[in-house]
Structure formats: C-alpha cells, structure tokens
A and B are shown apart, each in its own frame.
Chain A
C-alpha cells in the first residue's frame, strides 16, 4: 500500500528557516498537501501543490516537489514561535488522502 513518511521532530531557532521533508510512494498522486496542527486542534490546510509543478511559494512558505525522487518539502522562512506545531504532508492516492505521521516543529527563542 501507499506510505507517506516524515521525520518525527525538527528543532530550529526563532528567525531561522525550517525545512520539513516528506517522501511519498504513489507516482500518480495529483495533489500533495501540507497541513498544520496546533495542540488540541484540528488540521489547518497550509498549502498544496499540483503534481505538474516543481515549486510553489506563498508568503513565508515554499513547497518544493521532486517527482523523480517522490520527495516533497516545506520551507518556512523566518520561523516564529507561533509556527510550533505538527506538520503533516498528505497525498491523494486513489480517491483517498493518505497522511504522513507528522513532523513536530519546535521553535526555540
């Protein structure tokens, strides 16, 4: 079956850039997503990228897609303490959204 993998933790200092990585397995995925989850809350859609794109930029967020390696990354510029959360990547596989296990981003002042 499809598997989406992410590293469990990332720690950065406030003001630095954060890069969260994700690998996926379904080469037929049409959309890939990044969601943010703050403690005790639901998932907030951050951004998404269509599979025929290599890069998408949205203010402090940059998404890079390497289809050859099935690798997706989310870069957060000028990381702030409010960015501390769990970040999930997800792919559309078949008709279903398949999530990675989430990366916990910790921002140190």
Chain B
C-alpha cells in the first residue's frame, strides 16, 4: 500500500526536551511538508523540502528543525526553544513542489507534560 505514515500517534514532551516526529512516504514524491494545526484552526506551514538534502522554512519555523537525508523520510524535531508545542502535527507530500496535490499522513498529537 502506498501512502504516508507518521509516528507516534501521540507524543509527550517534558520541559526542556527535544522530541522528533517521524514522517515516511513510499509514494516516490520529491516534495514533503510539515504543518501545525491548533484547535479550531487551519494549517500553518512549518518547513518544506523540495528534494533530498534541501529544506526551507515555512511561516512558523522558529523552534523547529528538520532533515531530509532520504527521499522517503522527513523527520521534524520540536526543540526546547518552541515554547508552545502542544498541537497536532501533519506531514504531507506531493510529486513536486507547487501545483501538485498534497497527500497527508494521519498526524501526531504532541502534548507537553
């Protein structure tokens, strides 16, 4: 089955801790994206990657970091610098950047202890 997977489904973070959210796709898509969704709100773009070894900041990149060492993987690290990390995080991918349909993973809910 082709698709996008995210893990874990729920993640708890302690104060001062960095946590990493996993996103994997087997759709052979070049572009991948991370969005943050707060309750009752739309999606805001954190980071995106057009191709392997490339990534760019989105609208709310502060306190987050990413890597794109493999085409199929785009992990997101929520660092201790992100003061309000509680949210639902969605990963997406598309064949190429811009003008193409984005397909979404099931999401990871991050909660702060």
Contacts and interface: CB of A to CB of B under 8 A. Distances in A.
Nearest to A48: B101
Interface of A: 4, 8, 30-31, 33, 35, 40-45, 48, 88, 92, 94-97, 99-102
| Max chain B Cβ within 10 angstroms of own Cβ: one of A44, A48, A97 | A97
Interface in B92-112: 92, 97-99, 101-107, 109
Contact of A31 (B92, B101, B103): B101
Contacts of B4: 42
Contacts of B33: 97
Contacts of A30: 99
Given A42-B90, A42-B105, A96 B43 contact: no
B90 A101 contact: no
